[in-house]
Each structure stands twice: as structure tokens, then as C-alpha cells.
Structure 1
């Protein structure tokens, strides 16, 4: 395939964006006086900004490119899963947000020690940290891989631009810098999706009407065969169940989202954050799928513009580089960088919060706020470097088929964590040993299912969550509870 020159103007636009993000990190660096500032922003974040940050954090560059590709090659069924996050918000509002606000936690996993014991805290925290170091590597690698065929920037340079700059501005600005850069990046992502769709509409004969007519004619919205139940395929019922448990994991047990609950100055602002996120989830993903439909219509009318044996997974960056005006193309590529950086910077700060709170502060003598801040920044750099090294290794070894395998591990790690929080919050009879047994059985069950069956990976999170809750409930009478009834009552609903 012919490499398209990125062009001077596009380079300028991309570099201006990267410089602006660095300046945001530098601006908030002066406010980072203690670990509370670095991980909680001193409660200075307004709810609407925290909401945009949650949206940007959960939308990676791979999502930004893969959703249009899926709508282009397949259908819109994955759109239904996006709305599950909205459905669970009342549940999160009523039960989890008051809990996290009341306990004033830095790490969400502090709760698991209060409710069970230090083993459960360390299991969840270490699982989160390892998963997110891997997530940083995968997102950086796949972003570089997706852009490499279309722009004259080497993949290692892309890894450097994404990874190293994330480390620098997260190191300087803490969670406050991360959230405000997320705001910029979230707005860029949303504006880019709308802009691309509008521009393609002007280039398709018949405009928007023709775009949606062609998709309907090709049965690319919600095909009837995707409505049936399946144990192995990602049909609509499977997607709905899988996304339900994945959303529960994100909003109740994942530090990168839960951390946003404690950066505002009141519970009302925290709830406003999730309402803002819900509004964005309700609107923006539709545009990503509409972009895929528009690309389908455009290349149906202009098939000669697609190279022979083209890999349609890169259809969005290919269109941006080959068809959009200079400057605008640079802005869209900057938005792809933004999608990657928003996810990575959130992972870096959350890993740092977990290690500082769950390992460094938890063990040993009393630590000063300044010591916690110093260690938090050191962990930010260490986690970022490990992610960059891992993504560099993936590029050099030309690994493939990583994303599906990595997604399947969300159920392995995320399911038991979600189950632990659910068990702790709702099951008073549960205790530390029944929770531990639940985790062991859940992990063993998922590993067996993954190795011995063709069950769809969306079920892994379901299995992990439910097995922990059921085993923890059933086996609780076999073990003595180390906490008093009053302590348990204060930590449960």
C-alpha cells in the first residue's frame, strides 16, 4: 500500500496539540503539594469535568478506530452495549457512590481490607495494576500499528509521542492534570467524530439519506440473526449481559473510574459527573457508528479509491489521511492520539494511587504527605516506562491477535474484583476466608472455561462475579468472621 505523506501542516497541528497537553500538565504541577492533591485533586474538580474525564478514560484510541471499522464491515449491534453503562448508573448512585465518599478512600481497594482483610485488598490492587500496565502497552502498540500504514511516522516514534508525553504530564499534573487534559481530549474525540461524519456526508452522492439507505439495504444495523441467543458468538443478548458486567466492573471496582468519585467537593458533584458521562455515552458512540456507515457508503460509490486487499480495520485513518484536507487530517490524528493518551494517563495515575496507598503506605512506618507524593510520582514514571518497553517489544516482535486475548482477561481479573465488592457491600454474612475461597474458585473456573470450552469471552466477567458472590455466601458459615457485627454493619448495606 502506498504510504501517504503526513505533510507539514498536519505535523504542525499535531505538535501544537501535544505542546498544549504538556502545558496543561505544567500548569497543574504547582498545585501538587501532597499525595491528596496528586490523587484526589483536593476536591477541586467540578462534576461536569470529572464526567468528561470518565468518558474519555473509558474510550481508547482503539475504540475510536475499531467502532467505525466494525460498522463498516459488520453491523451496529455493539452500539446497544454502549447504553448498558447508562442503565446501571442508578444502581451506582444509590449504593456505591455514598460508600466511596463516606470512607474517603484514596484507593478503592482500601475498602476490601476494611471489609475482609489485607489479602483481598492486595489481590484486587495488584490485579488492577498488572492489568493496567498491560493495557497501556496494548493501547500504545495497537495505536502505533493502526497508524503506521497511513502516515510517515515510525511506530517507535508514535510509541514515544504517546507514552513518554503521557508519563511527563501525568508526573507533573497528577489527577488534576489528567482530568483537565481528559476534558480537552474528550471534546476533541467527540468533535472529531461529528466532523468526520459531516464531511463524509458532503462527499457522498445523496448525502445522509443515501448513507443510511445503503446501510439499511445491506442489513448493517441490527440483523435478525444477531438477536438469537448464543454461547459462543457475540450476539445481542450476549453483548447486553457482557457489557452489563463489564460496566459494573468499571463503575464499582476499577480504580481509574472510582477515583473520579472522590475528586469533587460533594456527592452531588460526583453524581453530576456520572450524569455528564451518561449524556456523552448516549450521544457520541452513535456518531462513531454513523462514521462507519458513511465510510461504507462513500467507498461503495468510490471503490477505486481503496487499495487492493486493503485491511478494513484501518478504514478510518486511511480515509482521514487520503481524503481530508491538510490541517483537518492532522487534527483528527491528534484526536486519535488524544484517545490513546486519555486512557493511558488515567491508568498511570490510578496505578500510582494503588501502589502508594495499598503497598507503600499500608506497610512499614508512618509516611509523610511529601514522601507519598514522591513515591506516587516515581511509580507513575515506572509504570509508564514498563508500558512503553512492553509496547516496543510488541512492535519489534510483530505480535498479533492481542486485543481479543487481552479483552478476555478482563473477565479473569475484573470479574472476581467486581464480585468481591458486591459480596462485601451486600452480603453481611460473608467474611475474609469465604471471600478468598470465592476468588480462588472463580479464577480456577474462568481458566478452565477459557481452556476447555468455546464460551464467548463476554461470559468470563459474568462467571467471575457470580462465582465469588455465590461461593462467598454459601461458605461463609464455615469460617469465623474476624470483624464485629457493628463493624460489618457499618461496611455493608
Structure 2
């Protein structure tokens, strides 16, 4: 299956990649400065004591340079657990660095707050607010008592804590009023302004008041620096070109040589959070201690002087590294050229094959004599999709390799599908797989299967569009989220164009290309990470990571994932998809016989095994990469909380220029591969199972290809509209896929299982079994029925559906006397077919 010009396209891409290698992505903070800042934080944490040590440790945690923090402060806890209020700082650090024990440390801090005569209640309230813990929830009575009492430090920090866990209403109303109340004690105003700086989220009007108040405060005023800092960090976007904003920043920069440690530290914090690369010289001066603070007086010992300046140096290091985290990376022009060239090539393929299609059979089945290897690669690309390509690395990052153990069941999958399902399909040689259901169980079951299939595929295509745009395109290409709809239309439009032109031949050909791009993208990622670390062993984990949770082997429906669950879920998914999905059966029927169809399925499984292994390794690689180089993560992102975004982000920031564009094109390729297959098979089912079956006096249109192309266009538009609703589904990427995409997989196979393997199955019993299967799938996915985990939807809904179908069918035959069983109908159909064949020959 050769396409003229494909060699020229390949050579063009190679030339583009060679030119792109000359480009680079500049960074404001170079590797040497970054390393100096990281080392400074480590040195301050190791060598200083008390709160200076706490500050350096927290900077490291917030920047994801967490190495050694937990171990260091576990030792601090042993030494200072009875020392107030320093112990609160130690617990605060441990609550952030030791997430498995966070609750126990939070409880210790709460008990310190609840001790009315305790020496560190104020520090406890402040710490709980910083940790995002609401005292209104954990200690409501004492909190009410404090807030009804006098306005003091405990009042301010307790008020701040009560804002945690609410809807994002920012600083509320009271904090700004306290910070701006000129009649209040300066210490309390400072504390309120500090809380305001941390909380943010205030209105534009409040921002104006905070900014102007900070500018009007006298030099040396205690709340001044925190009011200025709050105004700089939380300025509304439309105010960042305002003269007031510029004055706020100038006032903060004037503090670079302030004799106050607190003012220098706060300036560094604010510049790190909201400054720009032009502010780096100021932060470097702090890091290098160009203008040391020299406190005077009898108590100003050399150790105190060192601690004060160490605190400032650590703050300067934090500001530099936070600016580094806020670096915006984007694709280079060569990356864009690679993507455009690829998409243009896909459109060209569609146009080429449009001239090869002469009939409806050519369009839907490729003439029925397509190459089994090519069709197998196409089946792999279809079943993998961009959903798997994006979700598998994220699943590995967040939960570990358990899910990938499912590939161990592939030999059994191949045997069951290849020798029990495929031969039955190949004997019938139908255009739509759901004709089988009508032959064996009647029209009602075929209609129900059509409804299940269309629901499944429309949700599947809608999810592909939504996740490809939101997780990949926005992350890789850096588009503003407001362009989501336009990008979705463009993605689907290109797919519709080349699919409706070329039919199954175009789908299979582009799938073969896209399979290579997918695997190549995964391999390139592994090579780049290995080169960055120096070896594979340097990034491959030597032990089970703590955030993956406990490794479990058995089958347990109430556990998110065990090895037994992975094996069972994988087996059921492949069995159900291969035995009921028009997209799979369509490809079996596109080959010459059962042997070639079996080969097709074997190629698909083998390729899937290779790519799942690669994607699992990709997950480990990007996990190691962003753990070692956390400056590439945006502020607030961690490897655990943003696991699904790590691979797309790596494509943009980790791969060489040009290669980023190629892998980005690979993700678009995966999406378009699956969407094109969905368009083709879905329009086939609508045509065969709905239009032709239920249209009275149906007459084939003169231009059959034009009609089916219009139908594919309608399918694509409907899927595009459906993608807008997927954002309403809760859960991370993998959970959303399981909830939405796999909802109808098992219910659909329930119908085929009963129609093929249960002789006494009746239409009414099968119908009820299918409906019951859907009901239990919905109950598990969206209502946590009996505490069953969402990943157990497939086996439970399959088992329940088959059991109900058999029970209701048995009752239908034995109690209601229904004689129209599957066995009887299939025999009658075989007799009718044989007599028709005899009549035709005679």
C-alpha cells in the first residue's frame, strides 16, 4: 500500500529536525545559578538552627527540592519535641515533607492550639492556617471562643485559619479591614497583612486599597512590607500595567539594602512570586550577601549575625528558584513546522485514497482484502488512542506499575479471542457485527446493541477530543484555555476531512504511520532522559516508591488496583472489546479468513505489549526527570498532584527542539487515528443498523460514497459537541476514561456472549441482562455502589449482566414458555441460508 510522495514527506521531516537541532530554549536562570541557589538552601538547612532552619526547609519543600528534609526534621523532633514554640515549626515542616504522617503532625498542632494555657497557641494557629487546615472544622468550640474574644495575635491567626477549606473567596472581609485599620496595633496589622499576602484572592477594589495603603505607610512601618508584597503578588492581571503597580514594585525594590531582615526576606519572596527576570540581579545580591546586615548591640553575637544573613541568603535563593519555576517554555518555530507538515501529510493521504474507493464496501471494509499486518497495526492504534498514550505514563507516575502487570494475561486473551470469537465472526461475513445479534436473538437485541455501541463510541470520541485538547494541546503548545473550542473543532475537522475522503484504507494507512510515531516518541523520551542522567539505572527506581501505596497481589473489588485486579480487568476489557466492538470486528472482517484475522489480532496484542511497556517506562522516566529537575514544574505543581501533565510537559521542556514537535504530532496522530476509526465504524453502524434497517422503502442513493461521507461528517460534529460535556466528569485522567469510555464495554459484550454461547438465551432475557449490566456499571462509576472501585466496572458489570441474562432467559423459557431461543433461531437462520444458497445455484 504505497502512497506517492511519502518518501518526500519523510525526507522533509528529517531536514526540519536537522535544522531544528540548531535551536534551543533559553532560560533566565542558568544551570550554574540554579545549582548555587539549591546548594545555599541545603547549606542553610544543614548548618543553621531553629527558625532559620525551618525557613530553609520550607523553601526546599515549596520548590520540590525535598531531599533530606524529612530525615533532618525527624532528628529535630527527637531533640526539640518539648521546646515551645520551635516544636510547632518542626511539626509544620514534617507535615509538609512526610505526607504519610501528615495527619498525626496536624493533630499535634491542633492539640497545642486547644491548650488554653499552652505557650505556643499563636504559633499553632498560624501554622494550621499555612497548612490549609481550618480550625472552624477541627476545633469549632474553641475557635468560636477565640473569635468572640479580644482582637490579638491569636485572634488574627485563628481568623485566617477559618478561611481554609472554603470556596475560593480569598481573604474574606475581615483580614483586609484588620490590615488597613490604622488605629490597630502595628503588630496585629503586620500579622493581618502577612495573612493577606498568603491568602490573596481579594477584589479589585480591595487591591487598590491595599496597594495605596502600603505606599502611604511610613518607612519602617511594620505592616508596610507585607501590604506591598500582598499588592504585588495578588495584583489582578488588568492592573499589572497600572502606575500604582509599578510604584508598589519600586517601593519593594528600595528595600534591597534595608537593615531589616524581615523586609529583605519579604521582598525576595514577593519578587520570586510575582517578579520577572529583570529582578534577578537584586536576588543574586541577596544570595551572595553583597550587603550583609550588621546588627549592633551587646546581644549581637557572631552567631546571631550569621543566622540573620543566612535567613536573607536563603530567601534570595528561594526568589531565584521561584522565578525559575515561573519560566514559560514554548515550542520553537521548527516544532510548529513539523506538526504542520505532519497534518498536511494526513490530509494528503485522505485525498489519495479517495480516488481508490469505488463502492460502499471499499469505503467501510477496504475491499475485504487488506494486509493483515497493516490492519493489526491499525487495530492497535485504534485501541491504544491518545487516551492511553497520555494516561498510562500518568498512571505509572501516581500509582506505580501495577496496572501494567495486566499484559501478563495477553497469551490467554489471544487464545480465547483467536480460537473462540474470531472463527464465529468470520463464518458470518456481515457488514455490521450487530447483524449477528438479529440472526440469533431478533431485532430488539440488535437495536439495543446499536444503542450501546453508539453511546460507547460517541462518549469515547468526545473524551478523546476533550483530553487531547485539555491535557496535551494546551500543555504542549501553550494555547490559552479560551481557545479550547476552536482547537477541538480544528482537531476534529482535519480528522473528518481525511477520513470521509479515504474510508477504511485511509484510516489503516495513517494508523500504520501513527503507530510508528507513537512508539518513536516513547523511545525518544527514554533516550533523552537516559542521556540526562547518564544511564538507565540512574533514573530507574531501585525500590517501591512510598506514594504508590502498598503493593497487593490478590483480587479485591474495593481496592483501586492490585495485580489480580489488573489481570482480570485487562482480560475482560480485551475479551469484551474484541467480541462486541464494531471497530474490532470490522478489522477482522477486512481480512480474508480466520487465520489472517487471528494474525491481525496477534499483531495488535504484540504491538500493544511493546508500547504499554514503553509507556510504563516513560512514566518512570518523566517521574525521575521532574523529581531531579523540579524547576520545570510550575509553582504549585508536584509529581504526585500533576502526574497526568508530566509527559506533555516533558515534551515541551525536556525534548530537543524539533523532536518536541514530532512527539506532539504523535499525540495528535494517536487522537486522529482513534477518531478516524470511530467515525468510520460508527457511521457504518448507523447506516447498516438504523437507516437501512428501519427506513421504509429504503433506496440506496445514487452517490453511495457521498451519502456515507455525509454521515461521517454528522458523527464527527455530534462527538465534538459531546466533548464539551466531558469536563463535568470528576476524577483524574485515568478515572475519567474508565468512568466514561468503559461504561458500555461490558454491557455490549453481554449481548454477544448470550447470543453466541448460551443456547437457551431469549431476546427478553438478554435485553434485561444488558440493561442490568448498564445499571450496575453506572452505579459503580458514579455512586460507588457497595464501595466497589471504579476500575472494577468491567468485570462486575459483565458478570452481573451475563448472570441476569441467563436467569431471565431460563425463566422466560421455563415459566413463560418462550420457544424463541438463540439455538432455535440460529438453526432456522442456517437452514434458510442453506436453502437460499441451493436456490441460487440452481
TM-score, with normalisation over the residues of structure 2? 0.55
Q: Residues 325-378 of structure 1, C-alpha deviation per residue, up to 9 Å, x if partnerless?
A: 211110010001011111111111111010011011112235437565343222
- After TM superposition, the structure 1 = structure 2 runs for residues 354-433 of structure 1, keeping only pairs within 5 Å, are 354-363=685-694, 364-368=696-700, 370=702, 372-392=704-724, 401=731, 403=733, 404-405=735-736, 407-410=738-741, 412-433=743-764
> Does the alignment pair 1:317 with 2:648?
yes
Deviations 1:151-170 (A, max 9, x none): 23343343233211111111
Task: Please tell me whether residue 296 in structure 1 is matched to residue 629 in structure 2.
Answer: no
Relative contact order (alpha carbons < 8 A, sep ≥ 6): 1 or 2 greater?
1
Q: Following TM superposition, by how much is the alpha carbon of 1:426 offset from its aligned partner in structure 2, in angstroms?
A: 1.1
Q: Residues of 2 paired with 1:316 and 1:151: CA distance?
A: 13
Alignment partner of 1:152 is 2:485? no
Aligned-pair Cα RMSD in Å: 2.5
2:632–2:653: 8 Å Cα contact kept in structure 1?
no
Distance 1:469 1:298 in 2: 46
Alignment match, 1:211: 539
For residues 395-430 of structure 1, the C-alpha deviation after alignment (integer angstroms, 9 at most, x for no partner) is: 7xx875385245235554222211111111111111
- 2:347: which partner in 1? 22
Q: Cα deviation per residue 1:120-152 (whole Å; 9 max; x = unaligned)? A: 111111221122112112111111111313423
Give 2:528's aligned residue. Answer: 199
SS state at 1:225 partner: coil
Is 1:411–1:458's contact at 8 Å kept on the other side of the alignment?
A: no
Separation in structure 1 between the aligned mates of residue 756 and residue 416 of structure 2, nearest angstrom: 12
Contact 1:60 1:339 in 2 (8 A): yes
Give the number of equivalent residue pairs.
487
Q: Residue 4 of structure 1: SS of its match in structure 2?
A: coil
Deviation, 1:57, is: 0.5
What is the match of residue 438 of structure 2? 113
**Relative to structure 1, is the Cα distance of residues 402 and 389 closer, same or farther in structure 2, using a 3 angstrom cutoff?**
farther
Where do 1:16-165 residues align within 5 Å? 16-147=341-472, 148-153=474-479, 154-165=483-494
The structure-2 alpha-carbon separation of the partners of 1:402 and 1:128, relative to structure 1 and needing over 3 Å to count, comes to farther
Distance 1:221 1:394, change over 3 A: closer
Q: Which moved more, 1:379-388 or 1:153-162?
A: 153-162
Structure 1 residue 7 displacement after superposition: 1.9
Range that drifts further, 400-409 or 166-175: 400-409
Cross-structure match for 1:480: 818
* 2:513 alignment counterpart: 184
Rounded to whole Å, the distance in 1 between the matches of 2:353 and 2:455 is 28
Which segment is superposed worse, 381-390 or 451-460?
Answer: 451-460
SS across alignment from 1:271: helix
Instruction: Compute the displacement of 1:201 (Å).
Output: 0.6
Please give the alpha-carbon distance, in whole angstroms, between the structure 1 residues aligned to 2:655 and 2:732.
Answer: 30
User: Measured at CA, do residues 7 and 399 of structure 1 come closer, stay the same or move farther in structure 2, by a change above 3 Å?
Assistant: farther
Paired position in structure 1 for 2:582: 255
Q: Is the 8 A contact 2:399 2:549 kept in 1?
A: no
Give the distance between the partners of 1:24 and 1:373, measured in 2 at CA: 17
- The 3 A distance-change label for structure 1 pair 285 and 425 is same
In structure 2, relative to structure 1, the CA distance for the partners of 1:156 and 1:67 (3 Å cut) is: same
Superposed CA deviations along residues 57-116 of structure 1, whole A, max 9, x for unmatched, are 011213212222222233111111244344311111112212211111111111111110
Question: Residue in 2 aligned with 1:328?
Answer: 659
2-structure distance, mates of 1:335, 1:423: 39
Matched residue, 1:342 = 673
Distance 2:821 2:557 in 1: 41
Select the residue among 445, 448, 454 that pairs with 2:787.
454
Gaps of at least 5 residues in structure 1 are none
SS at match of 1:368: coil
Paired residues of 1:33 and 1:370 also in contact (CA < 8 A): no
8 Å Cα contact 1:34/1:369 also seen in 2 = no
Aligned equivalents of 1:216, 1:393: Cα separation in 2: 42
Pick from 277, 282, 306: which aligns with 2:609? 282
Whether the aligned pair in 1 keeps the contact of 2:780 and 2:788 (CA below 8 Å) is yes
Q: Which moved more, 1:312-321 or 1:108-117?
A: 312-321
- Contact 1:441–1:468 (Cα < 8 Å) also in 2: yes
Whole-angstrom distance in 2 between the partners of 1:360 and 1:255: 17
SS in structure 2 of the partner of residue 88 of structure 1: helix
8 Å contact 2:780–2:790 — kept in the other structure? no
Unaligned 5+ segments in structure 2 are 1-325, 831-842
Contact 1:71 1:220 in 2 (8 A): no
